[in-house]
Structure 1
Amino acid sequence: MTANRTIVEIHILQTMPPSNLNRDDTGSPKKAVYGGVTRARVSSQAWKRPTRLKFRELVDPNQLGIRTKRVVEVLTDRILRLDPAIDPETAQKAAQSVLQDAGGIKLAKPRSVKKTDDADDNVNEPDQSTYLLFLGSHQYDDLAAIGKEAIASGGIKDFLKNKDVKKRVKGILQNDRAIDVALFGRMVADDTDLNVDAAAQVAHAISVQRVDFDSDYFTAVDDVKQDSDEEGDAGAAMIGDVEFNSATFYRYANVDVDRLLDTLGDANATVQAVTAFIDAFSTTVPNGKINTFAHNTLPDLVVVNLRDTQAVNLAGAFERPIAGDVVANATKALVEREQEIDAGYGTTPVHTWVIRVGKDTEAADQLAARQPLRDVLTELGDAIASRLVQE
C-alpha cells in the first residue's frame, strides 16, 4: 500500500419511511439481490445529483460546473455579458464557432428543430452539443473572452481556425478547475483529452435488511362533479397505484484527496470541495416522488474516516440481512466490520469522526466520540489542509 495517501470516506445508515426514491423503467423502486435476499436499492447517480445540486448552496457558483447540451446558449449569454453592445446573432455565431471550429465539440440542431436551407433561419435556434457537456463556469468566461476577440477581428471563423487560437481554446477546455467536475468527473467519448477522472466514488445504496415492496392504490376525485352531481355519483376521475418501500440504507462514498488536488491544483479549493461533498452527501435525499411521500429524513449515523491506505467499503457488514432492532443491530454490525477489517488489513484510519442520533447508534462510540456535523466538517478540513501542506 502507498504511504501518505489522503482518502476521505463516509459511511451512512439512513432510515427512509415509505418512499419511492429511485424508480426503474416500470416505475417500481429499484432493488438488488444481496446475501441471497431482495434489498431496496438507490443508484449512485440518484444520490449524486442532489449532492451536486446542494453545492450551489455551499460553494460560490463560479467555482462549479454547468452540465448541459445547451452549450451554445450558455456561451452566447457569457459573450453578451462581456459586451451587451454585440448583436445577439453575431454572439451566437461566435459561440458556435468557438466550441465547434476551435474546440472540436460536436454540435447539432435540437431534435425538435427542423433544419432549413436558409442559414439565417437556423441562427435563431442555437445548436446543441450531441451529449451532455460538463464545463466549469470559469471556462465559459474564458471562452467568451475568445469569442469577443473573434467578433472584433472581423472574421469569426478565420480567427477561430487559427492554430494558436485553437490551442488556447483546447487548453481552456482541458484545464477544468470546477469543484464538481473534479469530484464527479467528465467523459467526452469524442475527445478523450477532455476527460476528467472523478475523484469521488459513490456506491449504490442498499437496504441493510430484507425488503418487501408494496403498492399504494389511489383515486382522484373530480371536485366539480362531486359538488354538482345530483345522482350522487362522486366516482373517481382517475385511479392508479404507486409502488413504494421503506428501509434502512447503508450508503457509502469516498474521495481521493490526492487526485482531487491534482485536478484542482489548489489546496484551499481541495479542502472546500471535500467538506462540501461530505456536507451535501450527508444532508440530501433523492426527490423521486417526494411530494407524495415527503421522505425528508437525515441519517441515523454518519461515520467519516480519513485514511492513508485505501478506501474500504463496509457493505459486507450487511451480507447477512439485519433483523430485529434494525438501526441498533446495523450499527453494531458496521462497527464490528470496520474494526475487524482494520485489524486484519492494517487499514486503521488516521482519524474517525461520528455523527449520530439516538440510543440505537451508541455502538458507534467505539469508533469515535459523537460530534455535530459542523464540528466534524471544520476538523476534517483542518486535518486535510495539514496533510496537503506536509506533502
Structure 2
Amino acid sequence: MSRFIQIHSLTSYPPANLNRDDLGRPKTAVMGGVERLRVSSQSLKRHWRTSDLFQEALSDHLGTRTRDIGEHVCKRLVEKGIAEKKAREWSADIAKVFGSVEKDKVTTQQLVFVSPEEWDAINALADQLAQENRGPEKEEFKLLRKNAAAADIALFGRMLADAPSFNVEAACQVAHAISVHGVVVEDDYFTAVDDLNAEHEDRGAAHIGETSFAAALFYGYVCIDRESLIKNLDGNTELANKAIAALVEAIARVSPKGKQNSFGSFAYASYMMIERGNQQPRSLSAAFLAPIKEKDYLHASVDKLEQQAEFFDKVYGKCADSRVSFNASTGHGSLNDVIALAVQD
C-alpha cells in the first residue's frame, strides 16, 4: 500500500479578502524576497471540514469542535427536570473530563474536538443521571475514545491538554496556501447611501469605509499519511477512503468564506496533481521561490510545478510511484481521475 498521498493545487482568486489578519487586511508572507498573498492552513481546514460537500460525504462520522460540552449537558438535564443548580454542577463535572473548567462555569477553557461516539456517551450519561436524579460517579467518566470513528479528527488531529492519552496525531498536513507571484494589497474606499436621504438636509453618504483586497493564483499543498489515517480510524479502510475522497474534492471545490458577500470570489482549482508512494513527502513550493512574472500566470505555474517534480526525481530518484493531474484551463484530466488515484488501495 502506498503510504503517502500528496495533493498539489493551483487556484486562482479574483480580488478578495479570503483570510484576514488582526488589522482586517489579507494575510501575507514574504517568500523569495517578495510579499505574497497567503491563506492559513487553519482557515483552509476549517472551511473544508465544515463545507456542505464534506458534511454530506461524511455526515455520521464527523466531530464537533466546541467549548460548550457542559452547556449542552446542562440544557439536556434541565429539559429532563433537573434543577438548574444541580444541572450546572453535574455538567461541569462531565465537561472536566475533556478540559479545564473555571469555577462556577460549565464551559471548557479550550476548544475540544468531540467525536460522535463521545457525544453518544455524554448524552447517555446525562440521561441516566436525570433518570436516577443523581450526580455522576468517578467510574462513569470514561467518555473519551482513543480511536473514535470521526474522519475529521483522524485527518486533522486532536490535542487535549488535560487528557493527553486521548490526543490524536493528525494524519494530514496542510501547508499555508501562498501566491505564486508577488502581490500588492490594495484598499477599496466605499460608501453606503441612505435610501431615504432625499428627505435629509445632508444628502451625503450615510457610511464611509475602506476594505483591503488582493487577487492571486495560489499554490496549495496537502499530504495525507494513509497508514496513520486508517490507524486513527481503528482500521476502517472504507471510511478512510471516504475521508480522502471528500478532502480531495473539498480542496478542489471549496473556497474560504472571508468577505465573500463583498467580493463573490468563489473558485475551483484550475490545476491539481496527486502523487502516491512510500517516498518521503516534499512540497513543490520551491518551484515558486522566484515569483512568476509571465503574463499567463497559470500556464507558467503549471510548467514550473511539473518541472520541479521532474527535477526532484532526477536528483533524489523517483519521489512518487504514481501521479495523476487535471488542468481545467486545457481540459486535461478530471477531478474523478485524481480522486480515483487518491483512494486506490
Asked if TM exceeds 0.5, the reply is: yes
Aligned to 2:307: 336
Distance (whole Å) between structure 1 residues aligned to residue 101 and residue 83 of structure 2: 19
> Which residue number corresponds to residue 37 of structure 1?
34
1:267 and 1:357 map into 2 onto residues whose CA distance is: 30
Match of 1:299 among 266, 269, 289: 269
Secondary structure, counterpart of 2:269 in structure 1: coil
Matching of residues 4-23 of structure 1 within 5 Å: 5-23=2-20
Give, in whole Å, the separation in 1 of the partners of 2:276 and 2:90: 47
Match of 1:138 in 2: 117
Which residue identity lines up with residue 176 of structure 1 in the other structure? A
1:212, distance to aligned residue in structure 2 (A): 1.2
What is the CA-CA distance between 1:132 and the residue it aligns to? Answer: 0.6
Map 1:226-265 → 2, pairs under 5 A? 227-229=198-200, 233-265=202-234
Instruction: Work out whether residues 199 and 256 of structure 1, in 8 Å CA contact, stay in contact via their aligned partners in 2.
Output: yes
Tell me the distance in 1 between the aligned counterparts of 2:276 and 2:225.
10
Q: Secondary structure at the match of 1:28?
A: coil
Cα shift at 1:275: 1.1
State the distance in 2 between where 1:221 and 1:104 align.
49
CA positional deviation for 1:95? 3.7
Q: In 2, are the aligned partners of 1:21 and 1:289 still within 8 Å (CA)?
A: yes
Q: Which residue of 2 aligns with 1:318?
A: 288
Specify the alignment match of 1:270 in structure 2.
240
Counterpart in the other structure of 1:123: none
Alpha carbons of 1:278 and 1:76: their partners in 2 closer, same or farther (altered >3 Å)?
farther
1:15–1:247 Cα contact (<8 Å) kept: yes
Per-residue CA distance 1:209-262 (angstroms, 9 max, x = gap): 11112111111112212x223x5x421111111111111111111111111111
Q: Which has the larger radius of gyration?
A: 1
Give 1:76 deviation, angstroms: 5.0
The DSSP-based 3-state class of the residue aligned with 2:206 is: strand
Matched, 1:99 2:95: yes
- 1:150 to partner: Cα distance: 4.1
User: What runs of 5+ residues in structure 1 fail to find an aligned partner?
Assistant: 110-114, 116-125, 363-369, 387-391
Q: CA separation in 2, counterparts of 1:25 and 1:358? A: 35
Write the distance in 2 (CA, Å) between the matches of 1:76 and 1:182: 28
- C-alpha distance in 2 between matches for 1:188 and 1:319: 37
In 1, Cα distance between the equivalents of 2:193 and 2:247?
44
Cα distance in 1 for residues equivalent to 2:107 and 2:299: 51
CA contact (8 A) 2:223 2:281 kept: yes
Contact 2:113 2:158 in 1 (8 A): yes
- The Cα offsets for residues 307-350 of structure 1, whole Å up to 9 and x where unpaired, read as 22121200000001101121111110000001111222124322
Q: From the superposition, tell whether residues 313 and 78 of structure 1 become closer, same or farther in structure 2 (CA, over 3 Å).
A: farther
CA contact (8 A) 1:39 1:209 kept: yes
1:210 alignment partner, one of 177, 182, 194: 182
The separation in 1 between residues aligned to 2:277 and 2:116, in whole angstroms, is: 32
Name 1:120's counterpart in structure 2.
Answer: none
Query: Aligned equivalents of 1:246 and 1:129: distance in 2?
Result: 39
Residues 75 and 140 in structure 1, CA contact (< 8 A), matched pair in contact too: no
Paired AA for residue 243 in structure 1: S
Please state how far the C-alpha of 1:32 moved relative to its aligned partner: 1.0
Q: Secondary structure at the match of 1:305?
A: strand
Q: Aligned match of 2:61 in 57, 63, 75?
A: 63
**Alignment match, 1:279:** 249
TM-score by length of 1: 0.80
* Residue 154 of structure 1: how far off its partner (Å): 5.2
How many residue pairs match? The answer is: 340
Sequence identity, in percent?
A: 33
Q: What does the per-residue CA deviation read over 1:80-134, in whole Å, with 9 as the maximum and x for residues that have no partner?
A: 9xxx75647466654433333xx2632236xxxxx5xxxxxxxxxx710111111
CA-CA distance at 1:306 after TM superposition: 1.3
- Pick aligned residue for 1:288 from 250, 254, 258: 258
Q: Is the 8 A contact 1:64 1:181 kept in 2?
A: yes
Q: Pick from 134, 138, 155 the counterpart of residue 161 of structure 1.
A: 138
- 1:327 alignment partner, one of 298, 301, 315: 298
What does residue 121 of structure 1 align with? none
Partner of 2:149: 177
Distance in 2 between residues matched to 1:293 and 1:104, nearest whole Å: 39
CA RMSD of aligned residues (A): 2.3
1:209 maps to amino acid: H
Please list every run of 5 or more consecutive structure 2 residues that lacks an aligned counterpart in the other structure: none
After TM superposition, the structure 1 = structure 2 runs for residues 111-126 of structure 1, keeping only pairs within 5 Å, are none
Contact 1:76 1:144 in 2 (8 A): no
The match for 2:22 is 25
Amino acid at match of 1:14: T
Q: CA deviation at 1:153?
A: 5.1
Evaluate the alpha carbon distance shift between residue 380 and residue 19 of structure 1 in structure 2; reply closer, same or farther with a 3 A threshold: same
Runs of 4+ in 1 over 6 A off after TM superposition: 77-80
Residue identity matched to 1:24: D
Q: Which amino acid aligns with 1:97?
A: D
Residues 373 and 64 of structure 1: is their aligned pair in 2 closer, same or farther, counting only changes over 3 Å? same
* Mapped pair 1:196 → 2:200: no
Deviates more, 1:257-266 or 1:137-146: 137-146
2:164 counterpart letter in structure 1 = T
Pick closer, same or farther for the CA change 1:85–1:223 going to 2, 3 Å: closer
